[in-house]
Amino acid sequence: MLTNLKNKYKITNLDIMRFISQFGFFSFILYISIGHLIYGGGKSGFPSLGTYCPFGGFVKIFQNLGTGTYIFSMPITKLVLLGATILTAVVTGRAFCGWICPFGSVQEWLGMLGKKAFPKRIKVPKEIDSALRYVKYVILGLILFLALTLGVMIFKLFDPYSALFRFAGLWGNVAISAVITMAIFLTLSLFIDRAWCRYACPFGAIQALFNKISFIKLARNVDICKNCTKCSEIYCPMGIEISTLTETSAECIRCLRCVDKCNFDAVKARIEV
């Protein structure tokens, strides 16, 4: 039966592995969120969502620099998580976004639902799409600048991840602006795949910077490629034009769907040290 389902929907073992990874991390954060809602925080309760947010740890370092506080005066769990995330980015590039990030996974699942419910999806013009993808770098720069100069964590006001897993304010302090941001981008995800990841995620911007220098890179080998353009029909969560790809894209989240499904092995993930 499983084989029949895999053949019908063209599901590969890689698809299953990635879903298990995504669902596992999503379930863990959901468990923490529900536990915090029921039992609260503190020593006898559940840890805060911020404990498992590597971006919060990254911004905290800049905030500490701005306020003159000891740079690494934060919980060891945050430091370990931040270090592990940076190490992952150095080795695999933006794989965190494609295999781990719970908010990214939710967007992707909503996108799949949107394809079924709304066959006529929004096609953002190429020039506009390319320009919008730089917005996340502007957002990242603004967040770090304000953390460094004023010592403020402005991202808390617009964090959709926090709003989603704090159930829009059922527990914890959630700004209405964060709830609105969450609602906008989850709705957009029904029509535009991973809209938040593409255009606005500041942590995705950090991860994207590692794509060009990571040990594992992904690109199309023009010498092997038959220019059949079949790869354009492969679902890419980030909307990358694989058939014209000649080098590692900063937008690639290493889902490896194009590698897995290319009939001529022209799209490869290679190791460069």
Main-chain phi, psi angles of 263, to 5 degrees: -70, -20
3-state DSSP assignment of residue 232: helix
Whole-prediction pTM value? 0.90
- Cα(142)–Cα(155) distance, integer angstroms: 9
Q: What is the pLDDT of residues 40-73, one digit of tens each?
A: 887 778 888 888 888 988 888 888 888 777 766 7
Q: What is the pLDDT of residues 102-120, one digit of tens each?
A: 999 999 999 999 998 988 8
Give the pLDDT of residue 226: 84
Q: Which amino acid is at 270?
A: R
Q: Evaluate if residue 8 carries a pLDDT over 80.
A: no
Q: What is the pLDDT of residues 186-219, one digit of tens each?
A: 999 999 999 999 999 999 999 999 998 999 988 8
Least Cα distance to 54 among 24, 21, 16, 25 occurs for 25
Q: What is the pLDDT of residues 232-266, one digit of tens each?
A: 778 899 999 888 887 789 999 999 998 888 888 88
Give the pLDDT of residue 191: 95
Neighbours of 42 (CB within 10 A): 9
Q: What is the pLDDT of residues 124-162, one digit of tens each?
A: 999 999 999 999 999 999 999 999 998 888 999 999 999
Q: Evaluate if residue 5 carries a pLDDT over 80.
A: no
Give the pLDDT of residue 7: 55
The first and second tokens of residue 48, run together, are 């805060």
Phi-psi region of 272 (alpha: psi -120 to 50; beta: other; left: phi over 0): beta
For the chain, what's the residue count? 273
Give the pLDDT of residue 52: 87
pLDDT tier for residue 221 given thresholds of 50, 70 and 90: confident
